[in-house]
Structure 1
Amino acid sequence: MVTSMTGYGRDVTTFHKAKITVEIRSVNHRFLDISTKIPRSLLFLEDKIKKTIQSFFHRGRLDIFISMEGEGVIQQELVVNWGLLDQFVTSLNNIKEQYDLKGEIPVDMVTTVDGLLTVQEVEQGHDEMKESILNAITIACEQVYEMRIQEGSELHSELDTRLGIIQDIVKNLGERRETVIIEYRERIRKRILEYTKDEFVNEESRVLQEIALLAEKGDITEEVLRLNSHVSQFRDTLNNGGAIGRKLDFITQEMHREANTIGSKSNDPQISEWVVALKSEIEKIKEQVQNVE
């Protein structure tokens, strides 16, 4: 089974009077890259969220968005630093006595002292909230996974079609190979005859040996064999499924290298035409493979 790296999932859950929305977007990436954009009050869940994501996916960039509406999941309370307040009031009274000052200490003066009054978050139903959010993450992941599977099935079909075209081209190259060698040898022989005439007769054996060596340099037998091997490896890997994207990318690079070698070796117009078509199909496969997990 082939899995793509593109998908989207969304789930909405409620906790107390708050509505929590979870969204996950997945695109292609060389590795597994997880990015979270969540409220500050939920940062304690970040590691748990990433572990949940890792249990579903091996590759791809996944962006996780969590938003909250309504009354906050984390409520707030005002906390008085009584120790600091005692010191503050005592110090003011001492100043009054020391300098014989009159008047009362105004209440609003208390608010001017840093650290005397602070706002703290109060967690309510911490475990229930964690379970609710992680469950929403799981549901969104399942949706992403399902979308990746669906697109992966389409990718499999498209790659298989392209591979069939490549296989036909390689077959044509293999069949044309022997004819090209014979034609190449004959062209070289005629060219030598034009320039050497009688000398060719006296050195025929050695000249024919040189012709054979020159023809060998244009032989594409090994490249055709390797291309057939790469096509078989690609198809086997495709059918095995799993996290195969990197392996398919490597095989595609090897196929492209063999195509380039054939193009540089051969002077035959028909082979050159097939090589152009071959490289075009390989490029299309390479582009599609980038989205295979």
Structure 2
Amino acid sequence: MPVYSMTGYASVSKPPTPAPNATPPSPVAVEVRSVNGRFLDLSLRLSDEWRHLEPAIRERVTHTIRRGKVELKLGGQRDVDSHLPTLHADVIHHLSALSQTLETQFPTARPLSVNEWLHWCRQGGSAQRPDDPWVLTLVDEALAALQAARAREGARLVAVLLEKVEQLELIAAQVEPLVPQVVARHQERFLARWNEALTQAGARADAELMASARERALAEAAAQAIRIDVAEELARLRSHIAEVRAQLMRGGELGKRLDFLVQELHREANTLGSKSTALELSALAVDLKVLIEQIREQVQNIE
């Protein structure tokens, strides 16, 4: 399934089919653009002659796009010669009778203007204007072009993210062998201090000193256990990295899922850095957080 970026732009402009012996009509233009957004935020800017198509256009956009701030513009003049309103006799008769009744009941009321007569005649004739389907087809073409642009950008984002994921895996591979080395160094320090305490205790044979050495040993053992827990954070980090890769390969609507996984990656990297006392582990934890932040910025563009 394709991955769509929330950033894209497309425009389509075509003139309607002119009526026989009529002046060639001016083109109708559809312009649509989208940027990042947590939800679908749609803004329509339609010319007055196409404002009645807003519900149909809104339905088409919401059926095509799931997330992002979308702005669609529709402009251009219809062919006046070929699409003059049809004057229906029954509608004119009904409006005339209604107008006379209103004038009798409300002598001060303003009579209907020519524009209002034409408006009601059009409404009384056909609910759909002759060129409405053509304009909606033009909107469909613009939305298809936008989706194609968003898909191309989405493919580039996936390539960038997969590269970042590979870098995360390389850093995690460097961290893994360092964990037992750090534990071994802590064990060496612990044994050295313990032996020092035993030597002092044997020389002075002081019960109080023996108790103090025992407390120090317990504290060192507890600290060592905490350091060993870094392996758990590393295991969860690897699991989240693998899930990000799987989601990118699967495709579809990934934005929200990837955003959650990036938060989990950041949490594990922070914990890894805070628990690390070795300089090399701290440096790798910083590299992890820099990469994860770069991934987060790219994920914000995915639908």
1:84 CA drift (Å): 6.9
More strand by share: 1
- Confirm or deny that 1:83 pairs with 2:100: yes
1:51 CA drift (Å): 1.3
Q: For the residues of structure 2 that align with 1:33 and 1:64, how far apart are their CA atoms?
A: 11
Is there any run of 5+ residues in structure 1 with no aligned partner, and where?
92-112
Query: What's the counterpart of residue 151 of structure 2?
Result: 149
- Confirm or deny that 1:63 pairs with 2:71: yes
Give the direction of change, closer, same or farther, for the CA distance of 1:195–1:207 in structure 2 (3 Å limit). Answer: closer
1:152-163 to structure 2, matched below 5 A, reads: 152-163=154-165
Give the direction of change, closer, same or farther, for the CA distance of 1:70–1:193 in structure 2 (3 Å limit). Answer: same
- Confirm or deny that 1:42 pairs with 2:50: yes
Match of 1:116 among 87, 103, 111: 111
User: Conserved in 2, the CA contact under 8 Å of 1:84 and 1:116?
Assistant: no
Query: What's the counterpart of residue 92 of structure 2?
Result: none
Q: For the residues of structure 2 that align with 1:41 and 1:148, how far apart are their CA atoms?
A: 30
Deviations 1:107-130 (A, max 9, x none): xxxxxx652242323649834322
**TM-score normalised by structure 2 residue count:** 0.78
Match of 2:192 among 166, 190, 193: 190
- Confirm or deny that 1:274 pairs with 2:284: yes
Query: What's the counterpart of residue 236 of structure 1?
Result: 246
Deviations 1:167-194 (A, max 9, x none): 1111111110000011122234434555
* Aligned AA (1:43): R
- Confirm or deny that 1:224 pairs with 2:234: yes
**TM-score normalised by structure 1 residue count:** 0.81
Higher relative contact order (CA 8 A, sep 6+): 1
Paired residues, number: 270
Is there any run of 5+ residues in structure 2 with no aligned partner, and where?
19-24, 88-94, 204-209
- Confirm or deny that 1:19 pairs with 2:27: yes
Match of 1:245 among 244, 255, 273: 255
* Aligned AA (1:190): A
Deviations 1:126-146 (A, max 9, x none): 343220111011100111011
What SS does the corresponding residue of 2:169 show, helix, strand or coil? helix
